Amino acid sequence: MQTSETGADTSSTVTLQTSVAGQAAVPTQVVQQVPVQQQVQQVQTVQQVQHVYPAQVQYVEGSDTVYTNGAIRSTTYPYTETQMYTQNTGGNYFDTQGSSAQVTTVVSSHSMVGTGGIQMGVTGGQLISSSGGTYLIGNSMENSGHTVTHTTRASPATIEMAIETLQKSDGLSTHRSSLLNSHLQWLLDNYETAEGVSLPRSTLYNHYLRHCQEHKLDPVNAASFGKLIRSIFMGLRTRRLGTRGNSKYHYYGIRVKPDSPLNRLQEDMQYMAMRQQPMQQKQRYKPMQKVDGVADGFTGSGQQTGTSVEQTVIAQSQHHQQFLDASRVLPEFGEVEISSLPDGTTFEDIKSLQSLYREHCEAILDVVVNLQFSLIEKLWQTFWRYSPSAPPDDTPVTEPSNLSEIESRLPKAKLITLCKNESILKWMCNCDHVMYQALVEILIPDVLRPIPSALTQAIRNFAKSLEGWLSNAMNNIPQRMIQTKVAAVSAFAQTLRRYTSLNHLAQAARAVLQNTSQINQMLNDLNRVDFANVQEQASWVCQCDDNMVQRLETDFKMTLQQQSTLEQWAAWLDNVMMQALKPYEGRPSFPKAARQFLLKWSFYSSMVIRDLTLRSAASFGSFHLIRLLYDEYMFYLVEHRVAQATGETPIAVMGEVR
């Protein structure tokens, strides 16, 4: 123990005992070096109570530390006897009761020097330390202290110390120590501080209540829970967000961890409403002004109304905002190139169609940005003047109130006539490709960046429903237009499924590529592969240059040996694709050559996997995962390269075969 008076270090054993039921403090006793059995016996005879105040920093040092809590369990926690603090101000305070010396060291302000040489000032608080890092626990709402280093789990002893501090400052009963222990660790496991994000206070408390229900714990009230959050995550600010009459308090500067199970809450509730706050302060389009019925639960200001369950899901999905690219706007559409007007139509009708379809596509873009996927079906039904095929005679057919406005701008009869024109079909198909490509880039801006599984599943469910929604909404439209529209939306849905699968593979492979032992095993197994035999078998099908194949083999092994990151592997794959297709650049045969390259790549990699399988390679599972990822990512690269070469969107490239 080091004191400010002598500055000397003395070897000692510090015994910590948490209070039993009815006690509210942590006694600290200094004893001599004695056997552990005698230490435990001495711990059990301590009756004095030492008060620990929330504005203090308490730390202990020693070679052997024995800690017991109220549950009568004894655990030894070793603590490295190194100097972590350099004293600036403050002193030592002693509060002795009885014959036993109770010592608590209080530091009013100090500097902490980490192993990296970075000095950080800490004012008033308590440090929760573990092997992964240190947390600063404070007692005020606007404390200037911050997290010293990030950790995922605090030691049991330090968590108990934080609980005792909260009990004294916040009036929490002592008999809830074990409950608060789990509550505190649950917060550290599932939340983290982050700039520029916020969560509603009700969201955090709902997460907490769900946790207590699942683990059969008694929850604390909302006020005590708020104090606990502010004691753990320093520097949180409270903001009231929303429109007048529908605003809520938010914690600003905290978010759910990307790997937290809380990200899957929407899956458990079957996505009753994937509806969030808008990404931008100004909406690009207000569906309520265009579509009757869509305004239910979606106002012009971008705020939603609905049941309490829906509001809960809205709050739970709010953290998905950071994974979308809401800054992207809908590109301009080209003009309709038409030589002769269809019978019964005018150029004004064509202009009306262009204007209405532009507004329609902007509405689709807006609801996708806000993850309101279910509203797209309503938008389609409104634009295509959907009506039930055979409603019962006694069932009144209600029409949207704004349908008369749309009908006045472009009557349905003229819409059907225009849908039969080839120039209109081609123009609308191009518009769809542009719009769907923008939607893909909004939902999945980076296929390699981690996406929460809840958002991934919502996108896949959305893709699964698209074709059915559109076909149903166009029940009275000419078949030629239906085929054109369905082909475009099918390419969009297939792209969403492929990209979400690619993202899932990327996150699984990222863990493999970061595992040194797995990489070494993969290298050992790969060196046993007879690549000469593989090339001999594949040459008849692939007809690849032997030197190029040899170079790829060498580069692959070298990149694997360097334990490259996923992003470095992606750059390597892109370079392989560019080198293979370089001779065909600028030629009309480029798309065909690109498809042939994909086939050859897939066939050759399957031959390598075959050899690993026959040899019963220990790393076969890792290679299989890597092969799936690289094949899928190479497909992704090729389609974008072909789109760039042809001047089209990747959606249009994928839609050509349909």
Give the pLDDT confidence score for residue 624 in this predicted structure: 94
* Torsion angles phi and psi, residue 254, rounded to 5: -140, 150
Closest CA to 85 of 60, 54, 63, 62: 60
Q: What's this model's pTM, rounded to 2 decimal places?
A: 0.55
| Cα 6 to the center of its chain, rounded Å | 52
Q: What is the per-residue pLDDT across 240-277, written as a single tens digit (0 to 9) for each?
A: 665 455 556 778 788 888 777 776 664 444 333 333 33
* Torsion angles phi and psi, residue 294, rounded to 5: -70, -25
Give the pLDDT confidence score for residue 221 in this predicted structure: 82
CB contact at 8 A, 323 and 455? yes
Half-sphere exposure of residue 439: CA atoms within 13 angstroms, side-chain side = 30
Give the pLDDT confidence score for residue 424 in this predicted structure: 93
Helix (H, G, I), strand (E, B) or coil at 371: coil
CB contact at 8 A, 435 and 364? yes
Give the pLDDT confidence score for residue 470 in this predicted structure: 94
Give the pLDDT confidence score for residue 173 in this predicted structure: 52
CB contact at 8 A, 275 and 310? yes
| Mean pLDDT for the stretch of residues 427-432 | 94
CA distance 620 to 372: 42
Give the pLDDT confidence score for residue 341 in this predicted structure: 85
Give the pLDDT confidence score for residue 94 in this predicted structure: 39
CA torsion, points 166, 171, 172, 177, in degrees to nearest 10? 50
Helix (H, G, I), strand (E, B) or coil at 135: strand
CB contact at 8 A, 376 and 469? yes
pLDDT surpasses 90 at 280: no
- In terms of pLDDT, which residue wins out, 575 or 197? 575
| Residue tagged 């809401």 (tokens) | 326
pLDDT surpasses 50 at 571: yes
Neighbours of 188 (CB within 10 A): 20
The fraction of the chain above a pLDDT of 90, given in percent, is: 32
Question: Token pair of 560, please?
Answer: 């694997």
Give the pLDDT confidence score for residue 481 in this predicted structure: 93
Give the pLDDT confidence score for residue 308 in this predicted structure: 46
Half-sphere exposure of residue 145: CA atoms within 13 angstroms, side-chain side = 29
pLDDT surpasses 90 at 30: no
Measured on CA atoms in the order 419, 424, 430, 436, is the torsion positive or negative?
negative
Give the pLDDT confidence score for residue 386 in this predicted structure: 82
Q: What is the per-residue pLDDT across 96-124, written as a single tens digit (0 to 9) for each?
A: 333 333 333 333 333 333 333 333 444 44
Closest CA to 167 of 306, 19, 11: 19
pLDDT surpasses 80 at 7: no
Half-sphere exposure of residue 58: CA atoms within 13 angstroms, side-chain side = 26
**Listed ranges 174-188, 201-215, 575-589; the one with the highest mean pLDDT:** 575-589
| Mean pLDDT for the stretch of residues 273-287 | 37
Pairing of β 248-256 and β 237-241:
antiparallel
* Sheet arrangement for strand 74-76: 28-31, 13-17, 65-68, 74-76
Residue type, 576: V
Q: What is the per-residue pLDDT across 472-496, written as a single tens digit (0 to 9) for each?
A: 999 889 999 999 999 999 999 999 9
User: Strand runs (DSSP E) across 150-226, as ranges?
Assistant: 191-200
Q: What is the per-residue pLDDT across 306-358, written as a single tens digit (0 to 9) for each?
A: 444 445 445 545 555 456 666 677 888 988 888 888 888 888 999 999 999 99
Q: Where are the alpha helices (DSSP H) in 585-619?
A: 590-614
| Mean pLDDT for the stretch of residues 170-188 | 65
Helix (H, G, I), strand (E, B) or coil at 235: coil
CB contact at 8 A, 33 and 13? yes
User: Strand runs (DSSP E) across 245-340, as ranges?
Assistant: 248-256
Non-local (6+) Cβ contacts of 501 within 8 A are 632
Neighbours of 344 (CB within 10 A): 11
Neighbours of 418 (CB within 10 A): 25
Q: What is the widest separation between alpha-carbon atoms in the chain?
A: 108
CB contact at 8 A, 382 and 357? no
Non-local (6+) Cβ contacts of 553 within 8 A are 531
Residue type, 293: G
The fraction of the chain above a pLDDT of 70, given in percent, is: 58
- Compute the residue count for the chain: 658
Non-local (6+) Cβ contacts of 345 within 8 A are 414, 417, 418
Half-sphere exposure of residue 299: CA atoms within 13 angstroms, side-chain side = 10
CB contact at 8 A, 131 and 168? no
| Residue tagged 């390598």 (tokens) | 608
**Angle subtended at Cα 400 by Cα 399 and Cα 404, rounded to the nearest 5 degrees:** 90
Q: Kindly report the average pLDDT of the chain as a whole number.
A: 70
pLDDT surpasses 90 at 501: yes
Closest CA to 341 of 416, 425, 424: 424
The distance in angstroms from the start CA to the end CA of the chain is: 77
pLDDT surpasses 70 at 278: no
